[in-house]
Chain A
Amino acid sequence: MMRVSELPRPSPERLLLQAQAEENKQWGARLKIFLGYAPGVGKSYRMLDEARRRRERGEDVVVAATQLQQSDDLQAILRTLELVPPLETPEGQAVDVAAILGRSPQVCVIDPLAAQNPPGSRNPHRWQDVQELLRNGISVLTSINLLHVEEYREKVQAITGKQTTETIPKAFLLAADDIVIVDVPTDLCLSRLGEKLTSIGISNSRERQLSELRELALLLTAEVVDAQLESYVHAHGIEPVFGTHERFLVCITPECNAAPMIESGKRNKERFQGELYVVYVRRPGISDDENATIECSLEAARKAGATTEVLESDDPIAAITEFAHKKRITQIFIGHGSQQSWRDRFFGDPVLRLVRATEGIDVRVFPH
C-alpha cells in the first residue's frame, strides 16, 4: 500500500566498516573506544586502568602505543603492562603491526588512535592499523579525542579556531563494539591542561569552548549508543525502543500552512538535539499548483535540515502512523484542515483520527 521514496541510506563507507566489524566479531575481536572532548579529561587513565584490570583477570594484554607525555599515575600502570615497542623512523613513530601479529595477544592498547604513520609505513593511518589487528582477531582498546573526528572538523575549528590535520571517519566510531565517554567538568579539564594556562589567565570563552566540545562529545556518544540499540533491536527481533531521543515528524499538505510548521520543527530539532522528518502523503489527482506548493515546502524543509519523504497512499492516516512507528517518532506536527469534507464529517476530523491512531506519540496541531 505504501511506497517510501528517498529512503536515507547509510554511506558506503559506513556499510563497509560495519561489514568489517561483523567479520571481526567472528574472530571474537572487539573494538572499544574511549572518547574525550579534549586533552586532559583522563581517557588514557581510564583505558590503561581497564587494561590493568583485564590483565589481572587473566587476559593477555599488550600496549602498542602510548602518549608522549605521561603522568606519574599513567607510568605506574604502564610499568605493570607489556609493551610492544613502536617502530622508530626519522619521520616519527608507528605501531609495529607485524610484531603485534607475531606476538598475537588477546587485547592490544593503542593510545591515541589519531596518528598519521610515517611515509612508507604499512598503512597511512593508525586507525587502519587497528582495523588490521581486529581482522586478525586481536581486540583493541583505543582513545579518541573529539577534535580528531572527521565530521566534527569544521565545528571544532569554529569553536577552537585551530586546524586539525589527522582525522578519523565517524563511521569508524559508529562501527565500534563499545564506546565509552570520559566526561569531566570543564574547569577540571582546564586545570589538568596545565598551570601554564592559568598563569596567562583563562578567559571565560575558553571554558565555554570546552563546554561546547563537551556537549558535542556527549551527543556523539549518544548517537553511537542509539545505533547500537537499533542493531540490538533488529538482531533480537524485539519491539523498537521509543522515547530515548526526540524525533519530530512534520506532515504537510498543499492546504496547510507549512512554513511555520517547518520552522517550529527546525527549532525543536535544535533545542532537543533531535531528528526532523518532513513528509507528504501524495494524493491521487493533485493539481500542478498543489504539486509546486509541496515541492517548495519540501525544499524549505531540506534547507532546515530535515529528511524529507513522499509517501504514496490512499489512506494518509495509516501511512503517517506506519511511518511514525518505523522511524520511532515521538512528536507529530499536523495542520488543521481548511474545511471539512463530507468524508470528514462522516469519519470524523482527520486531525482527531490521527490523534486516536498514534498511541504513544504526541501530536501537535498547528493553526491553519
Chain B
Amino acid sequence: MPAAQDTQRSKLKVYLGYAAGVGKTFQMLADGQAAAQRGLDLVVAYFQPHARPDTIAQIQGLEVLPHRKIDYRERTFEEMDTEVVLRRRPQIALVDELAHTNIPGSQRSKRWEDVQVLLDAGIEVWTTMNVQHIESLNDQIWQITGIQVRETVPDWVVRQAAEIVAVDVTPEALLNRLKRGAIYKPEMVEKALTGFFKGSNLGALRELTLRQAAHEVDLRQSAYDETSAFQGPRISEARPGGPTGDQPKERILIHITADPSTAMLIRRGRRVADYLHADCIALFVHRTAQLSELPVEERQAVEKHVRFARSLQIEPRVLGGSDVSKTVVEFARRNQVTQIFVAHSEGRLLERLRGKNFTENIVRLAQDLQVTVVADRSRRPGL
C-alpha cells in the first residue's frame, strides 16, 4: 500500500515504452546527464549490467552506486541496493526496470516496492517500464500478443508518478536495431523475432503505449487547475464535465468467485473504473460469511482474489447468503452500485437449467442495473 502523501515524499518519473530496445534507458540517462550538468545531485541506483554499448556510453560521468550481490541457487544475482541509496541520499535516483522481480532472499519482492521506500525517504526516482507490465492491461496484452506477462506493476504505482514520458520509435527502426544485434545477443534475436517482436505485435503494443501515455497526461491535467504546484493526479475527484457535476458518480461492483476468471475481472474493473472516474468495490458471497468453512482449494482461490483486489486498491467484502446471485444484486442496490462486473463463464446447458450460472442469473435479476459481462480475453474474438 502506498504511504500517505506528505511533504517528505518525493516525485516519481516513468519512461514508458513498448518493447526492449525502444530507448527508455537511453532517454532516461540522457536526461540524467542534462540534470547532472545543471548541478542536480543525481545517481544511477540500478542499471542493467548487460546494457547495450550506446546506453553504456550514455552513463559516462554519472555516479553509479554499487549493486547488491545475492547468491541464489549457486549463481550470483545483482539487485538494487536500497540501503546504499538511502545512505547516499541523492536528490534524484535513476532506477532501471521498474517491473523487475527481485531474486528470492531480497528484502522486498518487487523493485517497485524498493522504489516506494526511496520515494518515502524523499528521494526523487526516475525509472523505466514497458506498457505490457501495467497490471490492468495484462489480459489485453495476452489477447493481442498471445503472451502472458508475469511481471506486473499495479496501476496505482504508475498513477502516482508525477510524470510519464512516452519513449517512441518506429517498429521498423526497432527491428533494425534488433537485427544489428543492438538489443539482444545474436542467439536471442531469432527467438525475439518470432515471439514478442513478431508482425503486428509491435504496432499494437506501440498504439497501447501512446494511448496509455495520453491517458496519463490527461489524468494529470486537473492538477494544474486549482493549485500552483503539482499535487499528483487525483482521478476520482471532480473536474470540469466530470461525473460529480451533472451526473451521479458511477460505482462498479466486481463479483469475486473462486473461478480463475476473477483475476481478469478485477483487472478489467479496475481499468474501467479508472477511466470512468468511478468507485470500485468487490464482493464475494458464500452460504456463510466465514471463508474458513470453504473447501481448502476454493478458499485459497478466493483469498488469492481478495488479496489481488486489495493490491489494486479495491476493497473486497465477504457476505453470507444462500442465493449468491440474489445476494450480489441486493448488495448492489443497497450500495448505490451503477454497474455490476461479472465474468463470462462457460454457460453449460445443464448448469443453466439448474440455475447455477451466476453470470446469467445476475443478468436476469438485475434488470434495474447495468451488468457488464467481461470477456475472457485469453481467447481472441472469432466467428
Contacts and interface: CB of A to CB of B under 8 A. Distances in A.
Given A222-B207, A236-B199, A243 B382 contact: no
Contacts of B380: 239, 242, 360
Contact of A185 (B163, B167, B200): B163
A214 B210 contact: no
Interface residues of B, number: 62
Interface stretch (B41-49, B64-72, B213-221): B213-221
Contacts of A245: 207, 211
A207 B224 contact: yes
Interface stretch (B112-120, B321-329, B366-374): B366-374
Contact of A363 (B208, B220, B373): B373
B61 interface: no
Interface string B290-311: 0000000000000000000000
A178 B206 CA distance: 13
Interface string B152-171: 00000000000101111110
A98 B303 CA distance: 73
B369 A355 contact: no
B194 to A, nearest CB: 14
Contacts, number: 175
Interface string A191-223: 000000000000011011001101100110110
A207 B359 CA distance: 46
Contact of B144 (A183, A218, A242): A242
Given A219-B210, A229-B207, A271-B276, A183 B166 contact: yes
A367 interface: yes
A336 to B, nearest CB: 5
A273 interface: yes
A361 B276 CA distance: 19
A360 B371 contact: no
A322 interface: yes
- Which secondary structure dominates chain B's binding surface? mixed
- Identify the interface centre among A236, A264, A324: most chain B CB within 10 Å of its CB: A264
Contacts of A182: 168
A268 interface: yes
Contacts of B221: 208, 211-212, 215
A142 to B, nearest CB: 14
Given A212-B221, A273-B214, A273-B215, A232 B203 contact: yes
Contacts of A273: 211, 214-215, 218
A352 interface: yes
A185 B167 CA distance: 11
A104 interface: no
Nearest to A185: B163
Given A181-B168, A229-B200, A362-B268, A368 B367 contact: yes
A185 to B, nearest CB: 5
A264 to B, nearest CB: 8
Contacts of A352: 347, 360, 363
Contact of A365 (B211, B220, B224, B370): B370
Contacts of B218: 215, 273
A244 B381 contact: no
Nearest to A179: B170
Contacts of B375: 358-363
Contacts of A364: 339, 370-373
B136 interface: no
Contacts of B381: 242, 324-325, 358-361
Interface in A226-241: 226, 228-229, 232-233, 236, 238-239, 241
Interface in B346-374: 347, 352, 359-360, 363-364, 367-374
Contacts of A221: 168, 210
A178 B172 contact: yes
B204 interface: yes
Contacts of A358: 375, 381
B143 interface: yes
Contacts of B172: 178
Interface of A: 32, 178-185, 204-205, 207-208, 211-212, 214-215, 218-219, 221-222, 225-226, 228-229, 232-233, 236, 238-239, 241-245, 264, 267-268, 271-273, 321-322, 324-325, 331, 336, 348-349, 351-352, 355-356, 358-368
24 contacts: A180-B169, A181-B168, A185-B163, A185-B165, A204-B227, A218-B217, A222-B214, A228-B203, A236-B200, A238-B200, A243-B144, A243-B377, A244-B204, A244-B208, A322-B383, A336-B367, A349-B363, A351-B363, A352-B363, A355-B363, A359-B375, A360-B377, A360-B379, A365-B371
Q: Which 3 A-B pairs have the closest CB atoms?
A: A360-B381, A218-B214, A208-B224
